[in-house]
Amino acid sequence: EALPLEGEVESGTPGAVLGYPENGPFTISPARAGPTAIAISEDSYGRGPIRRSLTSLRGAVRSGNSGGPLVDGDGEVVTTVFAATTEGKPGGYGIPNDIVAAAVNESAGAGAVSTGPCA
């Protein structure tokens, strides 16, 4: 069953990052959502620049948390983890729920979707 998505998220919303960081066991780590803003960066393949909406996160976001949720105290998804910071204070970035929901809804009508190569 899918986790419910929180509506518009306020900066400072506390929660927990759920996932399997660094290919380890299931971990729950405290975190806090920051502001959502437009960032200019490269895409996952080093192409760019591209504009994307990202929610900043403060807390223990580690490699391997990508694709997992930051949930609030009610268990609703605040944002979907996209990347961990590599410098400065521990944290990362998430994809806002409206963007994730649009992508899921678009894919849902496409029928079967390949997982691609799996390790």
**Segment 57-90, tens digit of pLDDT:** 999 899 999 999 999 999 999 999 999 998 999 8
pLDDT by residue (tens digit) across 7-45?
Answer: 778 899 999 999 999 999 999 999 999 999 999 988 778
Give the pLDDT confidence score for residue 59 in this predicted structure: 94
Model's pTM, two decimal places? 0.82
pLDDT given at position 27: 95
- Return the pLDDT at 106: 76
- What is the torsion angle, in degrees rounded to the nearest 10, for the CA atoms of residue 102, residue 104, residue 105 and residue 109? 140
As a dihedral over the C-alpha atoms of residue 18, residue 66, residue 55, residue 89, rounded to 10 degrees, the angle is 80
Q: Give dist(CA 110, CA 119) in Å, integer.
A: 25
Distance CA 39, CA 47 (A): 14
